[in-house]
Structure 1
Amino acid sequence: MGAVRPWHGAVSLWHRLDVAARDLALGLLFLVASVLPGFRDNGTTIGDVATRPLDTLGVVAVALECLSLALRRRSPALCLALVSFGFSLDQLCGYHTFAGTALAIALLSAGAHLRRNRHTTAVLFSVAYVPLAVALSRIGRGGEPTSGFVTFYLMLAFAWGIGAWLHATRAAEAERRRRVADDTRAAERTRIARELHDIVTHHVTAMVVQAEAARYLTAAPERLDDTLDAITDTGRQAITDLRQRLDLLEPSHGPGRATVQGAEPRTPAIGGLRTLVEQTRRAGQPVEFTEEGTPAVSPGSADLVAYRVVQEALTNALKYDHGGLTTVRVRHTDEEITVDIATDGTGSRAPSPCGGGRGLAGLHTRVDGLGGDFDAGACTGGGYAVRARIPVGGAA
């Protein structure tokens, strides 16, 4: 273990270095190899130009080919130009050093990291290769056939092609990650919008109905006080729920603070249905509530979705069948939660904010996302019914 830690430390230090410094190390490796006697006769040779010993100009050519690799990722076009110039000196003067291999590295790097003018760069390089090949064929000893120049060009094109493939692969992966991030953000915005819709619609509808009823209770002070207390309680609950949802948008004021202060969890438990029903009754809506079975130990998102189904249905009952009897039946099993809500159609339309069906559409999407069934529609004898079967254990 003691030997592993220094190794990891060295790797970490290497990755913290500037990219040019790391690429320079590759260039220095080629430079050292180019001056070693063992690599003297293993350099790149094209054009059959007579080999001559390394001199000052040869050192310049080797330095251009090797040290320019420090720019292969930061400035790939400049790197390719410098390495190509050094390679031309290397071949035309007959040095034939190992540093000529750097041309393939520069081409691969340009294909992989060049972002603009990629096609222009490839064309310019190809055009520049033609006069080099012509010059080498003229000053050479005539042992290099035309097919040799073509083959060497194809090898260089292959190096560029590998780099282009790496570029396309990275671009595709970056695009995939961007789409995933966009989809994730869109899904989160949609989820928060649904939560806010459920909270605001339910509480504001109850407050509007209660406030409207208070107009007719001036002759009964006790009942008026109860109604005003109900409005106050509903408003406070709405503020609490909104704060919990807005904490999702501002995490620094969210989970940590709520945990310290012992606040209620963000997700309403299925046990909160009785409180929800009682709030609706206080708003003047008669509700018969029946709950059967025992909630599953790990319901996943099913309990939240069931809560929202009941909440949306009771909100619609307050809006469109105010005063009519509303029945709520919730049945728990180990596999699913079944919710049935229906109004009898004997009530009146309350003077409350109108909706556009967004709540029911959102519930349909949520239930479908858990693999359940959702249905909402008018009853034959009047009224409206909402039915949902929600498998437990899923995540919305």
Structure 2
Amino acid sequence: MFASVTRSVRSWPDSWRARPRYAKDGVLAATLTLLAFVPTLSAISAELGDLPQRPPDALAVALALGQSAPLAMRSRWPAACLAVIGTAFAIHQALAYPSTFGSIGLYLAVYAAGAHQVGFRRRLAAVSTAGYAVLAVVLVGLGSPNRVPDFLAFYLVLVVMWMAGVGMRKWRADEAERRRLGADVARAAERARIARELHDVVTHHVTAMVVQADAAQYVIGAAPDRAGAGLAAISDTGRRALTELRHLLGVLEATGESGPVDRTPTLGRIGHLVEQARLSGQPVELAEHGEPRPQAVDVELAAYRVVQEALTNAMKYATGRRTTVTVHHHPDRIAIEVTSDGSTDSAPVVPSGGRGLDGLRRRLRMLDGELVAAGRPDGGFSVRALIPARSQA
């Protein structure tokens, strides 16, 4: 029972999308039905028999309705629509009633069968062709002046309408496939983005907590009166990590609720990163040049992540070594350089997966920026980033 309910719920969006199409079919059917009784439009019709016309009667009215009203179900039941309209058209031609604009419904029904019929398409085409052949034989028997080329020409028109519907069906299928692939790519890109964010948040804060915990163990043995500051730094780092993780989880949940603006790290909060690194025992100097300007969120976040990842690597590989963070605010770009002293061959404080810098390079390439990370000639390591400026919209 639960499975059937789940399938029903999942089918709701499809039915919602289908309702406008069904409504359009109803409007088309009603419009064609009204125009079928406009005398001046009777010259525009699908005429096949060319038999001497008989006066219209109630049956003629019913047949006119039968060639237009069934278009209301042309998308939902295209085969039934074609069967009803085709039968009404055949009887109308065989009884030689006056021409009606409603006979155009035959073309629309054939098009709808090619565009919307899902199963038994070949069988439907074969049955329709056989029915048309029978109608041609009956009309010739009733004295129709048309000959084989005339009936073939009319049949080719119907084939063109069918193929037009088939082409539209294929185009819609291709378009749906493109949308599906686009959605898959977008979901993969979003998962990759969230993975990078999680990596940056967890790696930085956990590294800081490990360094602070190691320092606290040393302080407890050497200077117990200073142990409280180290433990407080660990607690503060943990709270920061939880705050950012909650924000990312909120994004993953996609509840649609807008969170506080200050939850997204920005370029202006680089000072907090530097202060956190200092609390971990890493001597960090911060220098900013130029006038900071409000930037787009992705630019601000990218700059923040560059400094965060660079400081994380400094705490991993150059623990206790002097580190310098320099930010240049140019009118058209933001230049960031983070350098650390000491050998880059030392073992990291915590294991490294090697994903941080690669993720940063991909992030900056999406912003038309670049990232260069390399060892310094005099020892140590440097990370240089160039991010094009983009005003906040």
TM over 0.5: yes
Q: Could you tell me which residue of structure 1 aligns to residue 239 of structure 2?
A: 236
How far 1:197 sits from its partner (Å)?
1.4
- 1:390 aligns with 387
| CA distance, structure 2, for counterparts of residue 124 and residue 110 of structure 1 | 13
CA apart distance, 1:363: 0.7
In the alignment, what sits opposite 1:337? 334
CA shift, 1:215, in A, is: 2.5
Which of 204, 214, 217 lines up with 1:215 in the alignment?
A: 217
The one-letter amino acid paired with 1:390 is I
Q: CA deviation digits over 1:191-233, x for unaligned, max 9?
A: 2222221111100111112212323333321222111111011
1:267 aligned to 264, 268, 276, which one?
A: 264
Q: Which residue of 1 aligns with 2:131?
A: 128
- Confirm or deny that 1:62 pairs with 2:86: no
* Cα distance in 2 between the residues matched to 1:39 and 1:234: 80
Map of 1:312-391 to 2, 5 A cutoff?
A: 312-346=309-343, 348-352=346-350, 354-391=351-388
The DSSP-based 3-state class of the residue aligned with 2:339 is strand
Q: What's the CA shift string for 1:55-81, capped at 9, x where partnerless? A: 565455334323222211221111011
Q: Does 1:225 align with 2:223?
A: no
Asked whether the 8 Å contact 2:332–2:388 carries over to 1, the reply is: yes
Q: In structure 2, give the amino acid aligned to 1:61.
A: L
Residues 298/34 of structure 1: CA separation in 2 closer, same or farther (3 Å cut): closer
* CA distance in structure 2 between the partners assigned to 1:112 and 1:208 by the alignment: 64
Report SS of the residue matched to 2:48: coil
Shift of 1:368: 1.5
User: What TM-score comes out, normalization by structure 1 length?
Assistant: 0.83
Q: d(CA) in 2 for partners of 1:101 and 1:369? A: 53
Tell me, in whole angstroms, the C-alpha distance in 1 between the residues paired with 2:59 and 2:282: 97
For structure 2, the 5+ residue unaligned runs are 1-16
Quick one: which amino acid aligns to residue 132 of structure 1? L
Deviating 4+ runs (over 4 angstroms): 15-22, 28-43, 55-60, 251-254
| 1:205 paired residue number | 207
**76-85 or 326-335: which moved more?**
326-335
Deviation at 1:19, TM superposition (A): 5.7
Normalising by structure 2, report the TM-score.
Answer: 0.83
CA deviation map 1:77-97 (0-9, x unaligned): 110111111112122222254
For 2:141 and 2:282, how far apart are their aligned partners in 1? Answer: 101
Cα 1:96–1:158 shift into 2, 3 Å: farther
For 1:309, the equivalent position in structure 2 comes to 306
CA contact (8 A) 1:73 1:113 kept: yes
The RMSD of aligned alpha carbons is: 3.0
Q: Residue 234 of structure 1 contacts residue 279 of structure 1 at CA under 8 Å; is this kept in 2?
A: yes
Residues 135 and 267 (structure 1), Cα distance of their counterparts in 2 relative to 1, 3 Å cut: same
User: SS of the counterpart of 1:215?
Assistant: helix
Alpha-carbon displacement from aligned partner over 1:115-150 (angstroms, at most 9, x marks no partner): 444444334323432222233223324x21211001
Following the alignment from structure 1 to structure 2, what is the Cα–Cα distance between the partners of residues 56 and 137? 26
Partner of 1:161: 163
Aligned to 2:4: none
SS of the residue corresponding to residue 217 of structure 1 reads helix
156-165 or 220-229: bigger deviation: 156-165
Q: What amino acid does structure 2 have at the position aligned with 1:133?
A: A
- C-alpha distance 39-380 of structure 1, shift in aligned 2 (>3 A): closer
Distance verdict in 2 for CA 1:77–1:355, change over 3 Å: farther
User: Which range is displaced more, 122-131 or 266-275?
Assistant: 122-131
CA contact (8 A) 1:323 1:346 kept: no
The AA in structure 2 aligned to 1:227 is G
Aligned partners of 2:110, 2:141: CA distance in 1, in Å?
Answer: 26
Match for residue 174 of structure 1?
A: 176
1:211/1:231 contact within 8 Å kept: yes
Q: What is the letter of the counterpart of residue 210 of structure 1?
A: Q
Counterpart of 2:3? none
Contact 1:24-1:70 within 8 A present in 2 as well? yes
Match of 1:139 among 139, 142, 155: 142
| Alignment check: 8 A CA contact 1:111 1:162 kept | yes
Runs of 5+ in structure 1 lacking a partner? 1-14, 259-263
1:152 aligns with 2:149: no
